[in-house]
């Protein structure tokens, strides 16, 4: 088994929308807010940010004004159990993972109580198959942000389709990070419980290379002990 940690969802970077989705760190309840879409969508396949207004309101948050009228890059799409990527990151996935391997999704969320950043796992996939996005039939275009895009003939986007039996969005997030040595990193006690990851001292902030789980079986045993439900929904209403 192999496993990658993949950072997803809106954050303070320009590409991330300069905003963090809300979380109640006391309960783990969070709102999954994707990054903005920057490419053209196929007709009828847009995902507007306005669809998050209700779920954000229930979390005591409002959709930022700069998201109004904009489209989401809804990826991962937990409803359809897919994740897509392109370029060097797409190659890391297609060349490094196969059926039965893990994708572990984490995000930087804003605690609605303390206004502090919380790095937490929000989803987990067990890989079923990996395909080139351009090769997927029209009947599957709706399942992922990369197939909802207008793709060139030479597009290198890949799409992961996860196994249904143990994949999805977490019903509550699992905080994993703290700030030390001038960066957010996986907490030291978790590095021990997981068998460590490939980045220096559990480094979690964005980079061109996905952090690898050095002992995926040990990580998965830890994850199962957390007794958190996996759901096929992008947000729990």
What confidence category does residue 17 fall into, taking pLDDT thresholds of 50, 70 and 90?
very high
Q: Output the CA torsion sign for 124, 77, 68, 70.
A: positive
Mean pLDDT over 170-185 rounds to: 96
Strand segments, DSSP code E, in the chain are 3-7, 22-24, 29-30, 35-36, 72-73, 82-85, 102-111, 117-132, 158-162, 168-175, 177-180, 183-186, 230-231
pLDDT at 206: 82
**For the segment 88-123, what is each residue's pLDDT rounded down to a tens digit?**
999 999 999 999 999 999 999 999 999 999 999 999
Q: Output the CA torsion sign for 35, 188, 168, 83.
A: positive
Q: Where are the domains of the chain?
A: 3-228
Question: Tokens representing 76?
Answer: 């991962």
Residue 237, pLDDT above cutoff 80: no
**Mean pLDDT in the chain?**
97
Task: Please state, as a whole number, how many other Cβ atoms lie within 10 Å of the Cβ of residue 213.
Answer: 23
Residues whose CB is less than 8 angstroms from the CB of residue 67 and which lie 6 or more positions away in sequence, other chains included = 17, 19, 36, 49
Task: Please state, as a whole number, how many other Cβ atoms lie within 10 Å of the Cβ of residue 194.
Answer: 24
């Amino acid at each position: 088994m192999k496993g990658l940690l993949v950072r997803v969802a809106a954050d303070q970077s320009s590409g991330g929308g300069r905003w963090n989705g809300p979380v109640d760190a006391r309960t783990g309840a969070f709102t999954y807010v994707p990054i903005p879409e920057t490419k053209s969508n196929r007709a009828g396949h847009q995902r507007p940010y306005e669809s998050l207004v209700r779920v954000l309101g229930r979390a005591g948050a409002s959709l930022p004004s700069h998201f109004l009228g904009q489209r989401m890059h809804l990826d991962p799409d937990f409803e359809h159990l897919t994740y897509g990527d392109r370029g060097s990151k797409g190659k890391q996935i297609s060349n490094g993972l196969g059926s039965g391997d893990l994708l572990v999704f984490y995000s930087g969320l804003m605690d609605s109580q303390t206004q502090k950043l919380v790095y937490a796992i929000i989803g987990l996939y067990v890989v079923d198959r990996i395909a080139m996005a351009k090769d997927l039939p029209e009947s599957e275009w709706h399942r992922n942000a990369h197939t909802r895009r207008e793709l060139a003939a030479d597009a290198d986007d890949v799409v992961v389709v996860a196994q249904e039996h143990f994949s999805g969005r977490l019903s509550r997030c699992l905080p994993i990070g703290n700030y030390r040595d001038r960066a957010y990193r996986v907490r030291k006690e978790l590095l021990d419980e997981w068998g460590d990851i490939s980045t220096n001292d559990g480094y979690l902030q964005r980079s061109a290379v996905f952090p690898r789980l050095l002992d995926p079986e040990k990580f998965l045993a830890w994850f199962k002990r957390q007794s958190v439900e996996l759901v096929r929904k992008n947000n729990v209403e």
